[in-house]
Structure 1
Amino acid sequence: MTALYVISIPIAISLVLVLLLRKVQAWQSRRQRASTPSLEEVKGVLFDPYEAIEPVGNGFVLDKTEPIKLRPFRPKYFLTMSLENTTLSDFILMDKTYVGRANLRRQLIKDHQDATVQCNHSAEAAVKEFYRWTTGTYLPRRYPMLYRLEAPHPESEKQQSQLLKNLVTGASSPTDADAMSPIDCLKTLGETVDTDFLFLLPSSTAPDGSPIYHLQAFVTCFPSGFSTRQKLGLPLAQIHAPVPGYAAKLEKSMDRFFARVEVGKIVKRANWSITTDDVLFCEEGTHIRENEDGEAGAEPKNERMLEANEHSIEEDIERQRENVKIENCRLRVERQTLHRLPVSKALVFAFKTYQERLEDVKADGDGNTLADAIDGLGIGNVPGMRVYKRGVVWGDRVAAYLRQ
């Protein structure tokens, strides 16, 4: 009995060490997947997903390609992440609205630079990393009929790196981010593709030691009722503070998900709303917030609550209802993606904005579905969403039109 007891002690120690070793190896494996460039294996061949960008196809013709039609409608609104996997090749979408959008974006960046482009020092390396990949790899490989790499002009002393030639607009941009400021990188990105980009980095720590991501840079030409410049430097929780139900239903899961996004993976989702005009650059006026007592507060300024003594909230909402004109209303949908950069480990949140006339939604046979979704804003897991999205202003009139 004594001999068995003596033998069991080293065996037990060995088993404990083996279990600890396995846990450490598993932890290191998870950490490595999120912190090193991804080399994936397909049919026994290793490849870098950031380099393995597939061309869009010979059948792609820009001025004949219709914008995609997203229909993320549900009869009841549930506040969830609703993520789907996609590929890095499908990161940026192009369609026949590109020329008009590119001209608008160029003008917006010129007229509203502080509102459309910002970069904190902590994000400078991430912005330049993303710029190099987008201009030097992604665009010329994905859309070779739209973007082409060219050698610098032989007489140019300043420009020694390759240029990205935009075959649609005729513009040429350097691919060497080191020769550019982060702001110039962001401006060029904003003018070159019809997609907005926000850069998030771990900038604080939760009580449990996990990282919390903050917005540290952006080029955003088409904000939908929020001021991106006011969000700069804020963590996810504060960025989403106006969203009803976010703190209770999404904050912790969002923070956990952002912390574990793997390099080389990309996810997508869609977000929809109804706007009462077709303005794409909109820093205010598309949301209403409820105060702590559940009372609505109109939002003539970005995410600002009206004080009770300013004027009657009910009167303001009624006035806004009277101004709703169906012919001016638009279904506004954002196709959103999220992925991690391989070197800086920054997260890039990107979105492309789509607008559709309500008559076109009806013509596609989706009128009743959208009307049901409008009614469902107030009966899902966050009833306050009907107020937040201004459904109390446009909801009844728009739903009635869609059902006609």
Structure 2
Amino acid sequence: MTALPHSPWAEAGGDFTIGLRPIPEAAWLEGGEAEPAGRKDRLLRRHPELVWGERPGSRTAQAEALELVRAAVGAAAADGQPPLLAAARAVPDDLCLMEKVDGAWRLTALSLCAPSFFTAADALGKSLAELHDPVDGFSSRFLRRVERIFDALRPGLILERRNWTVVNSGELFTPHAAPIRARIADIRPQDAGRILHLRVERQTLRRLPRTDGALFTIRIWRAPLESLAGEPERLAAFARAWRTARPDFRNYKGFASYDTLVEAFLRAQGESYSVNGV
């Protein structure tokens, strides 16, 4: 069983953090998928409004994003496609173009083929504040800091952050939460480790020097919860993060729906501490 390359629950625990750190350009895109274009093309044919969107006037910045991706991985020319879409077909990551419009950073184009409960139609044109409105406490705790990071982002600097959740699906394409969470009641506790999955987002942010936009990437990694069984340190860190997560973090992630199942898995692995601390 392949282990996840990142374990953000061990780094940030069960809380929202900005957690941005600089990385070298050589580490920008992680790869790890042989043919991302095939997967993304199928989704574009079936669900175009869910996985792709662009606003008028964004093509110039899209073209600059394509240049950066081409320099990193050898992406093909656009060949009549929107440039950001061509760039996204060359990498496993979802690509989001942010531009400052009327004083606010807004999402002006995106390819979104591994969404975590949102869609391109939902997100296109929204500001940073609007995009993060569902996150409890984001406006009061983080919004101004994130806006300053976007404003101050200098060319050549690439920032990375990671976050995590648990969901009862191993699929990459999860635009809607309701049909997935409707199946939680059917999961037997003894099957929790196999059916519940850790879903890790690795995100990067970099400036587009000529157009002054910003390119935000999202790479999804996932593995069944039982993948932690052979990694005692990662398992213990996950148990601590799960059991000590802040209420706003738990609420946003929907952890209450999984408590019984996750605790059954943890106890089966020898982590015999209950969610109530007993």
What is the TM-score with the length of structure 2 in the denominator? 0.86
What pairs with 1:289-368 in structure 2 (closer than 5 Å)? 300=178, 321-324=184-187, 325-326=191-192, 327-365=194-232, 366-368=234-236
Out of 96, 108, 113, the residue aligned to residue 198 of structure 1 is: 96
For 1:76 and 1:356, the matched residues in 2 are separated by 18
Secondary structure in structure 2 of the residue aligned to 1:363: coil
Out of 394, 397, 400, the residue aligned to residue 258 of structure 2 is: 394
Aligned twin of 1:147: none
For 2:102 and 2:26, the matched residues in 1 are separated by 32
Q: Is the Cα–Cα contact under 8 Å of residues 263 and 342 in structure 1 kept in the other structure?
A: yes
Q: Is the Cα–Cα contact under 8 Å of residues 3 and 223 in structure 2 kept in the other structure?
A: no
For 2:69 and 2:248, the matched residues in 1 are separated by 39
Secondary structure in structure 1 of the residue aligned to 2:109: strand
For 1:282 and 1:189, the matched residues in 2 are separated by 22
Amino acid in the other structure paired with 2:17: T
Amino acid in the other structure paired with 2:131: I
Change (3 A) 1:102 1:181: closer
For 1:339 and 1:100, the matched residues in 2 are separated by 24
What pairs with 1:49-198 in structure 2 (closer than 5 Å)? 69-74=5-10, 76-95=13-32, 98-99=33-34, 101-135=36-70, 137-140=71-74, 173-174=76-77, 177=78, 180-182=80-82, 185-198=83-96
Change (3 A) 1:101 1:125: closer
Which residues of structure 2 form unaligned runs of 5+? 270-278
TM-superposed CA distance for 1:101, in Å, is 4.9
Out of 241, 244, 249, the residue aligned to residue 373 of structure 1 is: 241
For 2:220 and 2:176, the matched residues in 1 are separated by 16
TM-superposed CA distance for 1:397, in Å, is 1.6
Which residues of structure 1 form unaligned runs of 5+? 1-65, 141-163, 165-172, 206-211, 286-299, 302-316
TM-superposed CA distance for 1:341, in Å, is 0.8
Q: Is the Cα–Cα contact under 8 Å of residues 67 and 354 in structure 1 kept in the other structure?
A: no
Q: What are the superposed Cα offsets for residues 330-386 of structure 1, whole Å, 9 maximum, x if unpaired?
A: 101011000001111110110111011111122122222212211122xx3xx2221
Secondary structure in structure 2 of the residue aligned to 1:384: helix
Amino acid in the other structure paired with 1:180: G
Change (3 A) 1:282 1:321: closer
For 1:105 and 1:335, the matched residues in 2 are separated by 18
Cα RMSD, aligned residues only: 2.3
For 2:24 and 2:145, the matched residues in 1 are separated by 23
Amino acid in the other structure paired with 1:263: P
Out of 126, 141, 157, the residue aligned to residue 249 of structure 1 is: 141
Q: Is the Cα–Cα contact under 8 Å of residues 117 and 186 in structure 1 kept in the other structure?
A: no
Out of 139, 156, 165, the residue aligned to residue 273 of structure 1 is: 165
Count of residue correspondences: 261
For 1:117 and 1:199, the matched residues in 2 are separated by 12
Amino acid in the other structure paired with 1:394: Y
Q: Is the Cα–Cα contact under 8 Å of residues 375 and 395 in structure 1 kept in the other structure?
A: no
2:86 pairs with 1:218? no
TM-superposed CA distance for 1:320, in Å, is 5.7
Q: Is the Cα–Cα contact under 8 Å of residues 109 and 187 in structure 1 kept in the other structure?
A: no
For 1:191 and 1:181, the matched residues in 2 are separated by 10
Amino acid in the other structure paired with 2:248: G
